[in-house]
Amino acid sequence: MKLKVVITLLILLTCCLMDIRADDLPGREIWLPESEVKDRFYSYLIGLIQADTCGVLLASDLERVLNDYRGKTSIPFETIKDIRRECDGGEGGREISVSFREELKTPVPYSILGYHPGSVTASPTVRFIEYGIPAKTLRWSRNQAVELTEIHVFAICEGWAVVDIHAWLDKLLGGMLDDTRLVVMALFKCNGDWHGLAAGYDPSGDGRSGIFNFNQNKILFPTPRELRMLGPYFRNFVTRVKRVRVPMPPEDKWTTVGSADYRGNLATKAYPQP
């Protein structure tokens, strides 16, 4: 398992969790304490998703609600235009759309090995289908398993998002860090801590994923051994179980390595390598 796209998670998951108008926003009573989630922005956002609220949040609402907490968050929320969350989405899931002020291009807000490794690019609007899973046990070795609870899965169904890693860092770390197109994000609790995951594919079609620990407020690099199966699991959940057709980024934003037939397979509902 390699770590790449958790940065996209930190920007787009931010958007997926914002979903109601400011006049109706819950107060600090829903915020998680800093002992659980260090970043005050995410503390509030996770509280919102736990409340399962739906509707529309405009940029002005977001600015007003979070204006006093800029020093306690690394997320550039001023890039967001509006977020919409529909609770009557198809197939039992929620539908979320995120609109940016323009095509998103922002530096990676968190560091890996002391460096900010690149940038995140996304279409002006990205739409997700959200699925809830109460709990899941995943075996990562013959005699050991990891327990996940309060799971929220976000599958891209319209638009695109890409992590562009700086060439020198990509070369230095080789397969441990690559440019990645995003397919799925997830929010869950593991060992008592809130985690975020982002997973997708590199230009050659190999699976890539990364995990962020909200309690430690950092990217887990390298990915802990017991969590390395989570990227394949969530990619498989989206492409094979739910059979979501994840769009490819435009050619000027993403170059796929391989034959035309192989490139076509990358955009199908059930890409064969989760």
Q: Is residue 274 part of a domain?
A: no
- The residue segments making up the domain with residue 177 are 6-266
Residue 158 lies in a domain: yes
What does the pLDDT look like over 220-258, one tens digit per residue?
888 999 999 999 999 999 999 999 999 999 988 887 765
pTM over 0.95: no
**For 97-119, what is each residue's pLDDT tens digit?**
889 989 988 766 555 444 445 67
Identify each DSSP E strand in the chain by its residue range.
55-58, 80-86, 94-100, 104-107, 118-122, 125-139, 145-158, 161-165, 180-190, 193-201, 207-213, 218-219
Given a cut of 90, whether residue 68 has pLDDT beyond it is no
In a domain, 119, yes or no: yes
CB 17 within 8 A of CB 185: no
Number of structural domains found in the chain:
1
Instruction: Retrieve residue 160's tokens.
Output: 């695109």
Q: Distance between alpha carbon 47 and the CA centroid of its chain, in Å?
A: 17
CA end-to-end span of the chain: 11
Give yes or no for residue 42 having a pLDDT over 90: no
The residue ranking higher by pLDDT, 120 or 244, is: 244
| pLDDT, position 243 | 94
Residue 108 within any structural domain of the chain = yes
pLDDT greater at residue 11 or residue 188: 188
